Amino acid sequence: MQAASLRYLELNSYFHGAQAGKSFPVTISQLTEVWHCTPRYVKQIVHHLSDTGWIEWKAGQGRGNRSELTLLQGLEDVLLREVKQRMEQGQVQESVDLMNRYGTESVRNRFMDWLSEGMGFSTKAVSDRLQDTLRLPVYRKIYTLDPGRVYYAFDFHLAGQLFNTLVKYDRDNRQVMPCIAHSWENSLDGLFWTFHLKKGVMFHHGRELNAEDVLFSLNRIRLQPDSFEAAWMLQDIESMEAADHKTVNIRLRQPNHLLLRFLCTVPTSILPVELASGDRAEFWSKPSGTGPFRLAQLNEGICVLEAFDAHFQGRPHLDRVEVLIFPDTETGRLKEPDWASVMSSQGDAGLTRLDPRRYEEGSDWCREESMFACSSLLVFNQWKQGPQHDPLFRQALHQIIDRQQLIAELGEDRMYPARGFRPRPNHPEDERNKAETEQTCLSEQEIRDLLMASSYNGETFHLSVNMFHQEDAVWIAEHLKPFGIHVRITMEDLVHFGQNGQPAYDGRLFGATLETDEVGELEVYLQKNYFLTAYDEDMAEHVKKTAAAVCREPDRHRRSEMLRGLEKRIRQDHLILFLAHKKSSTAFHKSIRGVSMNEYGWLDFHKIWIQPS
């Protein structure tokens, strides 16, 4: 049916002035142009469309007599049926492209209304039982579900639904808790660790997890630092062995007080050795983990998760999650979901069209806003020659970019100027940073004098940015222009390193979302796809020594002091410009329970449940 629908849409598009139910003359030659095929195949298509009842065809009698064609179906109805069918099959990109190609504004609005009604929560009978489903839109593709290679927050979030780690981190209590391992102990010198695995932890494909899976999963990260950015977390491990099928021993080269915390992170998720060590492409097309959800479907238009009944920490209340992946050009076109919805404004799902009247006192709707450790950043590339090597040039850019003005003009989830990684309103240190900033604020002439004193000579400044920070990049470029600084913006979601192992940009604009403790900061300092390009040799050595000292320090407060000192030096040298802190918003009906946001700014799917009305 899809082929017939497409042929009919092409016919309507070619004869766009034709009215349904009114015949008009046509030749076989014209139809070969419509469908780009031979006259013989044209006749087969005409015959098929006639049989479906979509057209009426009267063949011309004799040479030179044209045939009569009548379109019997309205374009909008055929188009809507086709895109709805494709959407239900998970062909999101194809549906949107088809609608944009053939649809009028009227039918596009009808399509978006239909899509909007289907978002949020629904409960329906499937195989004689009620199934609770959450359907939500995102506006970026899923790059990978491999927990060792995830980079973006949404990929981290999805990997966290499919896989589990040896231990897990309780953000509220700042404690490491049991997960796959039910207990552990370490030697007095901190060099020898033993982890005891729970019995009955099942992979999605039906096999019980054992110690060999743990050894394989951790070794694939730590032994391949060129392939896995997170290998630094496990660099202190000297050796590992399976004492038996439920016991893992780890020996360290030197004590590391963050080892347990590192083993809570998504990249250290445990994979099934017999599947993950085989055909990589085949495994990651439908991976098997131990997480609360298993992957039921994944293509460029849809990701479907289904509850894993045998999850060792208990089955999720939610039965199914459908993530529809839209092109970023469609951002903001979907209307507010209906009464049983949950949407997050952080990341990819926007709340730009929510009606504020829904959240008035006495309403059945709830809305929560919270700060989380996400800051937009401009990182200068010291691995490449360019004006960004000059500290005076970097200082000039720092002075030109007025964070308050950027937030006021662009708004949305930008909350207030960032003076470091973490949002700390009214914190004494943040107030000191604010005072220092105000004291060192330069006039326009002083900024121009800085540029004159620098080595900048009118070169084009190459700024790399992903689509979620494109507005910020354009804003910055416009405000640098009056000072004679020319900016070329390149859109790239992932950083590409050339043959020499170096990225091509002069500066990169992106957002860094941190964990609640030291792990997030160490990650951005030590991994190539974050800050590593911002260091010269001296700074790289300083970062390396500080990170090592942090891992050796048993006192959490002392570790925080070390990292604040490192952040201060980064800020003072303007190697990285902190721009704006962001907020996270969640909207939900009061019947939706268990709503909580994880460290990536997304809903924890496995905690949500629907209270019957």
- Range picked from 326-335, 351-360, 373-382, 450-459 for highest mean pLDDT: 450-459
Which 3 state secondary structure label does DSSP give 475? helix
Share of the chain above pLDDT 70, in %: 82
**pLDDT: which is higher, 414 or 428:** 414
pTM for this entry? 0.79
Where residue 103 falls among pLDDT bands split at 50, 70, 90? confident
Rounded CA-CA distance 78/87 in Å is 14
- Asked if 26 and 69 touch (Cβ cutoff 8 Å), the reply is yes
Rounded CA-CA distance 79/370 in Å is 41
Which 3 state secondary structure label does DSSP give 187? coil
Residue 216 burial (C-beta neighbours within 10 Å; 0-12, 13-18, 19+):
middle
Rounded CA-CA distance 516/510 in Å is 19
Could you tell me where the beta strands, DSSP code E, fall in 38-189?
55-58, 67-71, 120-126, 129-138, 167-170, 175-178, 181-186
What does the pLDDT read at residue 183? 97
- Asked if 340 and 133 touch (Cβ cutoff 8 Å), the reply is no
Could you read off the pLDDT of 514-556 as tens digits, one per residue?
766 788 889 888 887 788 888 888 999 999 999 999 999 999 9
* Residues sharing a CB contact under 8 Å with residue 370, sequence separation 6 or more, in sequence order: 583, 584, 597
Rounded CA-CA distance 589/364 in Å is 6
Mean pLDDT in residue range 400-428? 82
What the block records as the tokens of 318 is: 């939610």
**pLDDT: which is higher, 429 or 305:** 305
DSSP character for 65?
A: P
Mean pLDDT in residue range 555-567? 92
- Range picked from 6-15, 217-226, 320-329, 525-534 for highest mean pLDDT: 217-226
Which 3 state secondary structure label does DSSP give 372? strand
